[in-house]
Structure 1
Amino acid sequence: MPQSSRPTSRPLLTGLLLAVATGLVIPLQGRINGALGATLDDGIAAAVVSFTTGLVLIAAIGLALPKGRAALRRILPALRERSFPRFYVLAGGIGALFVFAQSFTVGLLGVALFTVAAVTGQTLSGLLVDRLGIGPGGKRSITGVRILGSVLTIAAVVWAVSPRLGAAADVGSLLLPILLPVVAGCLMSFQQAMNGTATVHYGSPIAATLVNFVAGTVILWIAWLVKLSLLGHGHALPAEWWYYLGGPMGCVFIGLAALLVRSLGVLVTGLGMIAGQLLGSLALDLVLPAPGTVVAMPTILGTLLTLFAIIVATLPWPKGALSSRRPGKGQPGQSRKQDSNQRPVG
């Protein structure tokens, strides 16, 4: 049955604002998990704590809410009936891979270069995932407008983080480390599409979020146990409660992303979250700056350009905008059909 490529249940503006709001939590989650990793002297242990607390929270929510329990009961029947490819339940492993990429490359690349690499991968793969129709919203064409919006987004992120790129000037020697966040970013679009499709069949993003956290938690626990046997453990868990907010924030991010891709598509959902990520980073740098942080003008202007890029990618442009196809180059008989149905465009 053909699927519509237009939003079906949520106005575009509302969904886009939700995507931006969801992206706002990512920098704060990164700041918390980074601080926890430094306190524990173990980045993998911090990821384990984040995923485990998120798993406990989403399991409690799913069991407490009637709709959540109903959605959880649909997980096994959906897998038995192959309502979607079974490997979609491993989407949480992509989140674990992203955490691995952060743990092993941020120290080498720096946060700025890591962000550029991950955003580039996510934006480009968002176009591909929408074109393949992997997400629940069906296929969405790769138009000139969507390509322009994607290119503007990547350029905007590079501009926004450019004041922090000085330490990573020798990009050539970092080519291989850069590939890891690029791949992780590419897979993030697939994760959102897989979660969105699973959510349709489960009936709630709660079930999809729970399955994600189960897969990611298992993978990270295995990785941490291997690391523990080889290198030993780090420091004890801190007593401050705010160190444990990273997992709940991950629940918000994964759940809303799975819900939004159905109406917005993978690309626009990703662009909205990228904008929220830059806005959240800017707000953190202004309100709770890390030591040595300086908010430069390129960061502000690059963030504004990202918002403009999203407008370019989401506005209802006239059909064929920025297309290289010229009038008269269509299929045989197209001109006669257009003559009989043509209406003026205001």
Structure 2
Amino acid sequence: MTTDRRSALLVAAACAATVVAGLGVAAQHRVNGELGQVIDDGFTAALISFSSGLVLLLVATAASPRARAAFRAIRPLLASGELRWWMLLGGFGGAFLVLGQSLVASILGVAIFTVATVTGQTAMGLWIDATGFAGSRRAPVTTQRLLGTLLTLAAVVVAVAPEIGGRVPVAALLLPLLAGLGVGAQAAVNGRVRTATGSPIAATTINFIIGTTALAVATGVHLLIAGLPDRLPSDPALYIGGALGAGFIAIQTITVARIGVLILGLCLVMGQLVGALVLDLVLPIGVATTASTAIGAALTLVGVLIAAIPSRRRDRPRRASQAGA
């Protein structure tokens, strides 16, 4: 197998894994949205979700000598400057996403919550790939990538526009929009931590430690004001949000180094929208899905393919120049 063919297969596998991660994100939107609705407390629901994921990751870390060694390496990496302290704060993005799920996903529905998140993810992914933020693999903003991104944004408009100002309050879209920006940045810094430590488990666990800490502080303040929720649900399915989060964040920390933040974001978008469409049809919550959501998902798929497929014309000169060097 040639090097180019092997590289193309690895990129395809990374894209497919990231789409699966996107399906997990949509499922987490649904689970955490219902948990927040049932207990009528989005802050507590978010903390339950994130902390349960942290418990699973701490167990995995304890069982992995490589992950434990990676944790011990964090301090020397910070001291040497290979990692900056702010690169460990990716968990803030995840925490804000989970909080948004618990607070407004039950109002917006999974599909509309997802497309609002997508807007922030796509914009952040384009900026990060263009600037190489946090040591990410830089990728120039070519016409092909820009077209794919614009199609994805058009999908967002198509999917959400019919509901704006009606059943969907504009203010409720702000949380998932900001969460999308945070998720895009989270992928970049988590990927950098994974590269430096050599352990996706360690990078994901650090993400959950930071996110759980942030949510614990926010929830503590909230509970002092609002009081404890009346009850917790008995349905075990409502407590799997943390496990879903641990899974899709671990996938992102591995695939981002291969495909870059923009393509990672677009593949996540595709998985999220397709998953959201299915979930809103099978297990609806909040605003019911419409034909516009399906059209938006189709446009997203086209945008992902345009942005993700390498441009042969662009690659040939690069290989030629490398051969002559």
SS of the residue 1:46 aligns to:
helix
Deviations 1:51-84 (A, max 9, x none): 1100100010111123322323322332232212
1:41 deviates by 1.5
Q: Quick one: structure 1 residues 34 and 179, their matched pair in 2 at CA, closer, same or farther if it must change by over 3 Å?
A: closer
User: What amino acid maps onto 1:247 in structure 2?
Assistant: G
Equivalent residue for 1:190?
Answer: 185
Counterpart for residue 309 of structure 2: 315
> Equivalent residue for 2:117?
118
**1:71 equivalent in structure 2:** 70
Aligned 8 A contact 1:15 1:264 in 2: yes
SS in 2 for 1:279: helix
CA contact (8 A) 1:39 1:235 kept: no
Aligned to 2:277: 282
CA drift of 1:257 comes to 0.9
Give 3-state SS (helix, strand or coil) of 1:117's partner.
helix
Task: Specify whether residues 51 and 282 from structure 1 end up closer, same or farther in structure 2 by C-alpha distance, changes over 3 A only.
Answer: same
- Relative to structure 2, which stretch is displaced further, 77-86 or 251-260? 77-86
Counterpart selection for 2:291 from 293, 297, 305: 297
CA contact (8 A) 1:110 1:168 kept: no
Q: Measure the CA separation in 1 of the matches of 2:285 and 2:12.
A: 33
The answer to whether the 8 Å contact 1:163/1:299 transfers is no
Percentage identity across paired residues of the two chains: 40
1:37 is aligned to 36
Question: Higher mean Cα deviation, 260-269 or 63-72?
Answer: 63-72
TM-score norm. by structure 2 comes to: 0.86
Residue 221 of structure 1: how far off its partner (Å): 0.8
Name the larger-Rg structure.
Answer: 1
TM-score by length of 1: 0.81
* Deviating more after overlay: 45-54 vs 116-125: 116-125
Aligned-CA RMSD value: 2.8
Relative to structure 1, the CA distance from residue 310 to residue 272 in structure 2 (aligned partners, 3 Å threshold; closer, same or farther) is same
Number of equivalences: 313
Letter paired with 2:77: A
Deviation at 1:206, TM superposition (A): 0.6
Given candidates 221, 226, 232, the residue that maps to 2:221 is 226
Preserved CA contact (<8 Å) 1:113 1:165: no
The aligned residue for residue 232 of structure 2 is 237
- What secondary structure, in the 3-state scheme, does the structure 2 residue paired with 1:263 have? helix
Structure 1 residue 129 displacement after superposition: 0.4
Q: How does 1:5-16 map to 2 (within 5 A)?
A: 11-16=10-15
- Please state which structure has a larger fraction of its residues in helix: 2
> CA contact under 8 A between 2:110 and 2:279: conserved in structure 1?
no
Q: CA shift at 1:135, angstroms? A: 5.0
Gaps of 5+ in 2: 1-5
Q: Comparing 192-201 with 30-39, which one deviates more in the overlay?
A: 30-39
Cα distance in 1 between the residues matched to 2:37 and 2:173: 23
